[in-house]
Amino acid sequence: MKASAFDYARPTSVANALQLLVAHGDKARVLSGGQSLMPAMNLRLISPDVIVDIGDLSELRGISLSGDRLSIGALTRHVDLLQSPEIAAQAPLLTQAVAHVAHPAVRNRGTIGGSLAHADPASELPACMVALDATIIVRGPAGERRIAAEEFFTGTYQTALSPQELLISVELPLPRENAACFFQEFARRHGDYAIAGVAAQATLQEGGFSDLRMVFFAVGDRPVLAKSANRLVNVAINPLVLSDASRALGEELDPQDDQQASAAMRRHLAKILLARCVGVLLGRPVPNASEPV
């Protein structure tokens, strides 16, 4: 199948792109890397009247350090994240996660802005943004908005972006002293969308955690910042504490059944990821008193 006919515009500035989005409203779609938009159009899941191709907006591309923030432009491609020394030093969680996003051909074109705006609940980057406590910067006719990543993802393929807004960049706080991160996912093949995954950012303190943001993905309609992980903060981690957090995680998650896995299997995989994450971050295995790992 091929896409329905559409008009094509290639703006030369962000202001020009916003004018087009205001003029066409929800009949227009922004084109970044095209790796999710074009398949959806070819399958006629969506049929926009106008494509606004932002590929020439070089001000939306690149990674820069400014004060205590790392800024990543919306058009920065997955491959740029993977190869960036700044990302490896300041946000190693992203380096680890991007290696699991699709395959080189997709990573060569797909962008961080496209991935976040697309908001697939099984995507790696949205979960990382929540784990890293990122701020997502969007611009529209009423000016700029700064949205906490935790508030940005509102459902399956849904975000706080309005059709007249453009995702401009994301900002990440620099890691604290004693920061550590963990990323792992279960997928049928490397590069497939996850069946269940976790992205975590922690601050270590005396063999435990003084802060732990553990974000599960592919187990709900958006990335889930696990409240149950708070049970692991500022306590001595032992098998009973881990079992308690694991049980609370099982109650907190509300995964769906689909062709890939049942809800029960996803919940089980998330608990395994929790135990692995804690063990790797602390540098020692912590047996879960109630679950075989």
Q: What 8-state DSSP symbol labels residue 47?
A: -
Between residues 195 and 212, which has the closer beta carbon with respect to ligand FAD? Answer: 195
The answer to whether residue 37 forms part of the interface with ligand FAD (CB under 6 A) is yes
Is residue 266 within the footprint of ligand FAD (CB under 6 A)? no
Q: In angstroms, rounded to a whole number, what is the distance separating the alpha carbons of residues 210 and 214?
A: 13
162-221: contacts with ligand FAD (CB under 6 A): 166-167, 191-193
- Do 94 and 115 touch, CB atoms closer than 8 A? no
The encoded tokens of residue 48 equal 């926009």
Task: Using CB under 6 A, pick the residue from 11, 33, 220, 223 that binds ligand FAD.
Answer: 33
Sign of the dihedral through C-alpha 102, 104, 107, 109 = negative
Residue 271, interface with ligand FAD (CB under 6 A)?
A: no
Nearest distance from residue 153's CB to ligand FAD, in Å? 13
Using CB under 6 A, pick the residue from 32, 95, 164, 246 that binds ligand FAD: 32
Note whether 74 binds ligand FAD by CB under 6 A: yes
Of 277, 162, 150, 278, which Cα lies nearest the Cα of 223?
150
Q: Contact with ligand FAD (CB under 6 A): which of 118, 213, 231, 267?
A: 118
Cβ proximity to ligand FAD: between 163 and 250 the closer is 163
What 3-state class would DSSP assign to 173? Answer: strand
CB of 115 to ligand FAD, least distance (A): 4
Q: Which of 24, 29, 139, 267 is close enough to bind ligand FAD by CB under 6 A?
A: 29
Torsion sign across C-alpha atoms 80, 81, 85, 90: positive
Alpha helices by DSSP H, listed for 7-143, are: 14-24, 37-42, 78-83, 85-90, 92-98, 104-107, 112-118, 124-131
73 lies in the binding site for ligand FAD (CB under 6 A):
no
When asked if residue 115 is in the footprint of ligand FAD (CB under 6 A), the reply is yes
Binding flag, residue 102, ligand FAD (CB under 6 A): yes
Least Cα distance to 28 among 57, 43, 45, 6 occurs for 6
**Shortest Å, Cβ 165 to ligand FAD:** 7
**Per CB under 6 A, does 273 bind ligand FAD?**
no
Candidates 71, 76, 84, 123; binder of ligand FAD (CB under 6 A) is 123
Pairing of strands 28-31, 50-53: parallel
Q: Cα 99 from chain centroid?
A: 13
Contacts with ligand FAD, residue ranges (CB under 6 A): 29-37, 39, 74, 101-102, 106, 110-111, 113-115, 117-118, 120, 123-125, 161, 166-167, 191-193
